[in-house]
Chains A and B, each alone.
Chain A
Amino acid sequence: MGNSNSNSDALKRHIIIFIVLSLGVNLIFAGTYSPRSLYGSIPGGDLQSVWNNPAMIGQLETGDKGGLYLELHNDFRYDPNIAVGINFDIGSDLCLGFASNSSTLSSII
């Protein structure tokens, strides 16, 4: 019982230290932020759509060999936008993905 309590206390201590360090590092690095580029996309913005694209990263589960993905949206200030992607489990805990999209932006000047 005593051992279980001390493990629990140690875990709580680790979690608190981790949260404090994580927030601290986040705030320090966030301070080095560079201005965003002026054309259309925002640095990281396009890549973020790749990370978030289930065909690239999120969809594979144990036993799956790969996934295909098709998305239609008008998100991100673009008009009808289509994205397709495919990913493969290539072994050794590695996943390889490809994606492409096309989108049209229109704005009233």
Chain B
Amino acid sequence: MIAKGTHYTVATAISFHKYIDVSLGILGTYTDAVNELGESVDNQYMDAGINLEWPVLKTFNKGNFNLFNHQFQADIIPGMEYSFHDIFSNTTSNFIFYSKIALYDNTLNRNALSLSYSFDNIIGGFQAEIYNIFSIRFGRLYSFSVNKVGLNLTQLANDVLAAFKISDEDLKILKKIELRGSYGYFDDNACYALFLPIPELDYKSIYNLSISWKF
């Protein structure tokens, strides 16, 4: 039989970005579900957490260099997230650690390369992004394997049009709107089944489309 649940989440976070990036967040979730016996099941909880990132080389004003007439800033960015799940009843906590190697192109004023690896003691995932256009993610994240590639469609359009000498003024709209898409698959396996009381969901393709507007 098919069990179904709808999951509603609201969240707020405040973040500070200077020598160190610190974010504090709180999230509430309500789930309205039907279990395998056809009974209605409601569930609600609240999570809270902190996320920290430290751009080490930038802090010490190091990592600047020139290459192919571009001025770059390299950085090593360790980060961690510590969160508490269900803070009012059965509280559990979890660390996720990640390390990033980043290269910022000051000449173009955008990220040239970002490589990150996240892990706790049983999971790990690798993520890379090149010139804010092409991204790839693979590895074990959140107890199942996620593998996908993504494209920042507006950035790509911007670069192609700029190559045809379209003026920055005409491309202004593409700087404000960002359309991203990604496609890939996830693969459930023993690790997932070990922790969650629902059966394995086999291979499934995943997609994602996002649009954002800066004002």
Contacts and interface: CB of A to CB of B under 8 A. Distances in A.
A24 B193 CA distance: 30
Interface string A3-20: 000000001001100110
A38 B196 contact: yes
A95 to B, nearest CB: 5
Given A59-B178, A98-B11, A108 B196 contact: no
Contact of B16 (A66, A94, A98, A99): A94
Interface string B1-33: 111111111111111111000010101010101
B167 interface: no
Interface size bracket, B side:
35 or more
Contact of A104 (B1, B5, B10, B186): B5
Interface in A1-49: 11, 14-15, 18-19, 22, 26, 29-48
Interface in A58-85: 59-61, 64-78
Nearest to A26: B97
A57 B15 CA distance: 7
B138 interface: no
Given A30-B119, A109-B198, A71 B47 contact: no
B94 A34 contact: yes
B81 A40 contact: no
B210 interface: yes
B88 interface: no
Contacts of A33: 94-95, 120-122
A61 B211 CA distance: 16
Interface size bracket, A side:
35 or more
A109 B142 contact: no
B6 A72 contact: no
A73 B97 contact: no
Contacts of B209: 71-73
- Which one of B7, B122, B204 has the highest number of Cβ atoms from chain A below 10 Å of its Cβ? B7
A97 B23 CA distance: 10
B49 to A, nearest CB: 4
Contacts of A42: 85, 94, 142-143, 195
A85 B133 CA distance: 22
Contacts of B13: 50-51, 56-57, 96-97, 99
B76 interface: yes
A44 B13 CA distance: 14
Given A47-B27, A78-B7, A104-B4, A95 B14 contact: yes
* 3 A-B pairs closest in CB distance: A43-B85, A73-B208, A43-B94
Given A33-B94, A61-B214, 19 more contacts: A14-B60, A34-B93, A34-B94, A36-B143, A36-B195, A43-B92, A51-B13, A54-B212, A73-B207, A74-B206, A75-B186, A76-B142, A77-B201, A77-B204, A95-B15, A100-B9, A102-B8, A107-B201, A109-B3
Interface of A: 11, 14-15, 18-19, 22, 26, 29-48, 50-51, 54-57, 59-61, 64-78, 93-109
